[in-house]
Every structure is written in structure tokens, then in C-alpha cells.
Amino acid sequence: MEIFVTGTGVVSAIGLNTNENLTGLLAEKTGIRVTNYRGEPSRFLGTVSSTNQELKQELELDFDTSRTALLGLKAAKEAWGDTTSDANLRTGVISGNSVGGMDFTEQFIMDLIAQSSDASIEALFSHPCGFSSQLIAKELDDVSFCNTISTACSSGANSILQAVQLMKAGKLDRVIAGGTDALSMFTIKGFSSLMIFDAEQCRPFDANRSGLNLGEGAGYLLLETAESASRSGNKILAKISGCGIANDSYHQTSLSPDGKGAVMSMNAALENAGLNPGDIDYVNTHGTSTENNDEVELTALRTVFNDNVPSFASTKSFTGHTLGASGAIEAVYAILAIQNDQAFPSLNITDHLDDSYKAITTKEDHKGGRPIKHVLSNSFGFGGNQTTLIISEA
Amino acid sequence: MKYINSYSGINCQNPLPNQNDWLNTLDVNSNELVLPNFKEHIEGIQLRRLSKILKMSLACAQFCNNEMAKSEMAGIIIGTGQGCLDDTRKFMVDMTSYESPSPTPFIHSTHNTIAGQLGLHMKCHGYNITHANEGACLENALLDAYLQPDQGWYLVGAVDEKIDWLQLLIEQSSKLKDLVIGEGATFFAVSNTPSSIQLEDVGAYFISKNRLAETVDDFLRQNKLDLKDVDLVLHNGNGVSGAQDQMNYQDFCGAYFTNSGFGIEVGIQKLKSGLSRVLVVNTIRENQIGLTLLKHA
């Protein structure tokens, strides 16, 4: 059974919808800027330009809630578009995130400390990861299934994988699948404690890269079976042709030197798609820009592609690392790559990590202008979670 | 067809592994977890670093793993409503108290730390995922296992921990102040290898519990069954009218998002003591319905 993409929604540091994101990617301009988050020392962050109040108004919500939920709802609504209600189709929402409504929890604690009258303990009900998914499920039509995946930085990709699995098993006909994560003190101080922030703009696959920049955002796909797409009349944009999942089971936060889990998930996705490595036209890497990730991911790519590595890059150099949203945002970028026959580059590279295997630094670097039919997208997470999606021309 | 080949639990009623005939000792006044001696299950160095939720998970998982030693673990699927609350609390306190907080509680704060640590300890490179949708997250995990190919056995875990902050939240909430909150862990080994407990079907829905009766009807009809074919409905607050027999298992384990794991343990005991089919109904979250149908095979 084929699983089609018939809608995309994305909010990130480079744009508030799919079109703005495409414009940003084609312009090869990063959205990462020096930002002062809640009085923290200034850092390079990939912040979404809308305020919570603006998002709340646009989404016509009559209550304050976590930014994770606001960003998620905005992107999910864009992916859903003007899809018609159809009670005969079983509709689901599967959404991933890493720290749930942490930003709102922190706001409550700060209000509490400041003895502000705004402090309501009920704010904590938006803390669990499932809260934002359930808000999206309530706001869309016909939703009779809702699930939340939390596998750290691969949450968004795994939500898409889960949706594909349930649709292929005949349990659901169409699914809004993706992920959302807002910036929070918790993740900023957490990654800071791990000492993996780059003090400059991140440089994935640069020899002198020194860490990541955090970002925020959300990305969703509307996935439909052939029957659902024919009933909805939605235009088919692409298809999810393969999913692979594995666990590195090496260390809680770093990857094994040979990238065992990454090799396994990429091979599993290729096998699932019935494709050969040579069929892949472009790889959107996990590419966090940490020393460990990029080196291991390149090693794994060389293993899987038997040293014939296709054009690869990390769009985290545009958005920052959006954690649980990243796999889903990058799935939208894979679809944009296919639709526009453009490979989006890695920004800020001065010296390549490996001169024999260079990430593309501008879209003109894409090998021979080869048409983009199959994109492989990697998402790796803490806890050894490794997920690979292959998105193809439909 | 999937079966439950082994299981183990940590709850307020009975010590790990909880496999003896313990139904007649159920006590509504037991509110404290019966914790095992973790030293028997986890190495000393690890033990000090791990929070309760990770210790409970490792101990339960280890038990299933030992029982399944002869076959290969194909993957780890965890359902947790709230994840690693204590490490989250610890890092929140540390990050506001210290200039350079230790990263350990941060690293251990994400929901998938449980499946990640289990993967590390059990050297399992296969399928690894964490369902975290508050209500029905165990049912989503079981459904995930139910849909996996026949490639070995899947470790499916349901686990949540209680911390003082959570108790405080419940006490101050107008809606929930009378709720007795609990915690616990139940782990299952699920595979295609036949055993006496068949996982006949699993359903997870985003449907109001006001529509529980029709949801149960539909679910049973899809299995060509009706309520008369179910000997006992085990539920956590919302029974099903017309059921032959019902029992509220939450009275014996407290309220937590994955307490249907305990419900399934009760169900397995009931099947072992002579019933032929039980349905575990989970409505812990008002718009999430989880249904697990178990059959004595």
C-alpha cells in the first residue's frame, strides 16, 4: 500500500509556512540569530518570529497555553489546509515532541517565584507531551485517533513512521503526522550543561564545527491512503516510500564510532522502500553540527552508500536544531526538494570535514543537476534512537 | 497472532515478579509500592545514578528478559504518560540553583531514556520507540507490538512514577483533588510464539468516554464478538453497561496514566484461574479510550 503526502505545514526560524520556508531555503539564508531568551546570556538560536499572543490570536484560541502547542497547531492546520470533513475516513493525529509544554511550565514557576497573580497551577496540565497532540486532535475535524511519540530528537520522524505503520495495517485512512518543540530554559540549559553549543552559527560538516544551535518550530504532513486522497481530492505531493528504525545501544547521548544504529536504520529504510542506495538523489542528514554526530553520520553514509555518497547537507544550519520537530520539518524540506528539484545546502562551511566527501554548500553543488526523485532523511536522538525516512516522487 | 509470553510488575499489591496467584490478597488499603531489592536486578554503579522509574523499568524488563532468554529480543516499546518526572524535577531545580548544573538529570529526563537505557542494558539494536500520549499510551504501545512482524519478541513496558510535585498539583486542582494517584510498572514479552495468554486485539481511540459503550461494541464486533463473549470487564473508573461482570482495578493500584498495565496483570490472573476472555478498559484520560482484549488460549 502506498502512503501519499497531500499536505505540508511548517513553522521555523526561516518562515511561518511552507512557502516562506521554501523561499528561505532557496535564498540560502539562515534564520539563526543572536537572541536573548528569557534573560539568558545571548546565544545563536533559531527562533520563530511570532509571539505567543500573535499565535493565539491567529489560531483563535481563548486561553493561554504552551508555545509547543501553539507552534504545533499552526503547522498542523496548514498541513490540513481546506481538507473536507469526511466521517467515513478514519482520521488520526500522531505528533512528536521532546519536552512537552516545558516553556509554559517554566513560565508558571517564574510567575510563582514573582508572586504574580497570573500563576495558575492548572498551567501544569499542559506539561505532558500528549497535551499539544490532543489540542491539535480537538481542533481538526473527524479525528478519532491521537498518539504522541517522544523519542527525543527523532520524535517527529517516528510519528511519521507510526502513521505509515497504522495506515498500512488498515487502522487509519489519513493522518496528520509530525512534531513540534518550542525553545525552553530547560533545553537551553540542558544542552549548555552538555557543552555542545557552538558560540557562533553552527557549521554542520565543517572540520572546525564546535556544536549545535537550538531552534524551535513544528512540521506536519497530511498523509493519506490512495482511497482517502481520491475521496478528499487533495493533490498528491509525494509519497513516503520507506521507513527504518534501529537503536545504536552504545551510549545515552553519543553515537558509536562506526555508526552501527545509523547504518541499520538507513539500510532498513532502503529495504522497506525497495530501493538501492544508488537510487537516492539527496540526503538530508541529522547533521546537528556536533563533533560526534557529523563525523559518525558521514562514516555511516559512506558505509551505506559504499563510498558513493549522494549530495548531502544539513538544513539545521538554517533552522537550528528543533529537537522533536526536526525530523518532521526536514520531511517537509524533503518534499520541497522533490517538488522543486533543488538540494538545499549546509551553510557556513569553510573547511570540509572530509575533502573527499563534501556536504553541498550551495544548491548549485548538487551533482550534475540530477533530478531529485528520492530523498533520504535521517533523525537521531538521545537514547540511541535512529530513524530514517525515504520520501519519493509520487 | 500475538501472545503474552511473560510479564512482570511492580505495584502496591504484590512483590515482583507478581506471577503467583495473588488475586485473593488484593487490598484496597495498600497504597505504597512494594519495591524489590533493586541490588538483585541492577549493578551497583548504575543503581546510584538511576531514578525510580528507570530502576522499576530495568528490574521488570530484566525479569522478562531472563524468562525469554532462549529467543531474540526484536525491539523495545514503552508507554509512559509522564516519563522521567523525577529527573526532570531534579534538572529544573539544579538549573535554577547552579551556574553549571550536572548534565546527568537532563540526559535522563527525556521520556525515551527508559527505552534507551533498556536498549543499552539488553544490547538490543532493534525497534525502539516511546509512546507518551497520557491516556492510552500502553494500548498504543501494545498496538505497535501487535503490528510488528514475526521477528522475535518485543518488550512492551508501561511505567509511570509519582513525585511530590505531582501530588501537590492534584491536591490544588479543583477537578482532581480527591484522586488517589499511584505509580507502577508492568512489562510484557509479546511475540507470535503461542502461550496460554493471547493478545486477541488492542484498540486506542481519541473518543470521549461518553461514547465508551459504542466504542466497545464496535471493537468487539470487529472481532466478531459481543459483550456476552467477554467474561469480565476490568476498568479504571468507567465500566461498560451490559457486561457480564466488572471490576475497577484502579482501586488497587491508584490512578496513573499507564495503570491499565496493572489491569492487564489482573486480567492474566483471571484467565489463569479459569475465565476464557477479559477486556481491559482504560479511560484514565477523558477523551482517550484504550481497549485490550485477552483470551485464554
Q: Which of A238, A263, A286 is the last residue of a domain?
A: A238
**A136 vs chain B: nearest CA distance in angstroms?**
12
Whether residues A87 and A164 fall in one domain? yes
Whether the CB of B83 is below 8 Å from some CB of chain A: the reply is yes
What total number of domains does chain A contain? Answer: 2
- pLDDT the model gives residue A130: 97
Whether residues A206 and A247 fall in one domain? no
- pLDDT the model gives residue A286: 98
Whether residues A163 and A178 fall in one domain? yes
Average pLDDT over residues A29-52: 95
Whether residues A69 and A102 fall in one domain? yes
> Coil, strand, or helix at residue B207?
coil
Which residues of B fall within a CB distance of 8 Å from A164?
none
Q: What is the ipTM of this complex?
A: 0.97
Side chain identity at A182, as an amino acid letter?
A
Q: Residue ranges of the domains in chain B?
A: 2-191, 197-296
Whether residues A229 and A284 fall in one domain? no
Which residues of A fall within a CB distance of 8 Å from B207?
144
Among B83, B112, B169, beta carbon nearest to A385: B112
**A370 vs chain B: nearest CA distance in angstroms?**
34
Which residues of A fall within a CB distance of 8 Å from B134?
128-131, 134, 148
Whether residues A202 and A294 fall in one domain? no
Among A134, A144, A261, beta carbon nearest to B125: A261
Among A131, A147, A385, beta carbon nearest to B131: A147
- pLDDT the model gives residue B40: 87
> Coil, strand, or helix at residue A15?
strand
Is residue A362 predicted with pLDDT exceeding 80?
yes
Q: Pick the closest to residue B53 from B4, B94, B90 (CA basis).
A: B90
Is residue B18 predicted with pLDDT exceeding 90?
no
Whether residues A113 and A43 fall in one domain? yes
Active site residue A202: no
Whether residues A198 and A278 fall in one domain? no
Whether residues A188 and A311 fall in one domain? no
Among A166, A260, A381, beta carbon nearest to B125: A260
Greatest mean pLDDT among A102-116, A164-178, B157-171: A164-178
**A356 vs chain B: nearest CA distance in angstroms?**
30
Cell representation of residue B222:
470487529
CATH number at residue A66: 3.40.47.10
Domain that holds residue A324: 241-392
Among A158, A190, A260, beta carbon nearest to B91: A190
Question: Cβ contact (<8 Å) for A165 and B144?
Answer: yes
Q: With bands split at pLDDT 50, 70 and 90, how would you rate the model's confidence at A303? A: very high
**B278 vs chain A: nearest CA distance in angstroms?**
22
Active site residue A321: yes
**A342 vs chain B: nearest CA distance in angstroms?**
32
- pLDDT the model gives residue B22: 83
Q: Is the dihedral of CA A319, A324, A328, A334 positive or negative?
A: positive
Q: Rounded to an integer, what distance in angstroms lies between the CA atom of residue A293 and that of residue A290?
A: 5
Q: With beta carbons less than 8 A apart as the criterion, state whether A256 and A250 touch.
A: yes
Top-level class of domain B2-191: alpha beta
Provide the whole-model pTM: 0.98
Question: Cβ contact (<8 Å) for A129 and B107?
Answer: no
Grid cell 555511516 — which residue? A300
> Coil, strand, or helix at residue A296?
helix
CATH number corresponding to B197-296: 3.40.47.10
Cell representation of residue A124:
501544569
Whether residues A344 and A277 fall in one domain? yes
Strands (E), chain A: 3-11, 33-35, 43-46, 91-96, 143-149, 174-181, 214-215, 217-224, 238-247, 282-284, 311-313, 374-380, 385-392
Q: Which of A206, A222, A238 is the last residue of a domain?
A: A238
Q: Rounded to an integer, what distance in angstroms lies between the CA atom of residue A287 and that of residue A292?
A: 10
Question: Cβ contact (<8 Å) for B107 and A131?
Answer: no
Q: Is the dihedral of CA A80, A83, A84, A89 positive or negative?
A: negative
pLDDT for A283-302, tens place per residue?
999 999 999 999 999 999 99
Active site residue A127: no
Whether the CB of B144 is below 8 Å from some CB of chain A: the reply is yes
pLDDT for B115-130, tens place per residue?
999 999 999 999 999 9
Cell representation of residue B270:
483471571
Other C-beta atoms closer than 10 Å to the C-beta of A363 total: 19
Whether residues A75 and A221 fall in one domain? yes
Which residues of B fall within a CB distance of 8 Å from A381?
112
- pLDDT the model gives residue B291: 98
Q: Is the model more confident about B235 or about B43?
A: B235
Average pLDDT over residues B74-95: 96
Which residues of B fall within a CB distance of 8 Å from A292?
none
Q: Rounded to an integer, what distance in angstroms lies between the CA atom of residue B183 and that of residue B259?
A: 8
**Residue of chain A whose Cα is closest to the Cα of B173:** A122
Cell representation of residue B285:
484520560
pLDDT for A113-141, tens place per residue?
888 888 888 888 899 999 999 999 999 98
Q: Which of A213, A238, A263 is the last residue of a domain?
A: A238
- pLDDT the model gives residue B269: 94
Whether residues A20 and A65 fall in one domain? yes
pLDDT over 70 for what percent of chain A?
100
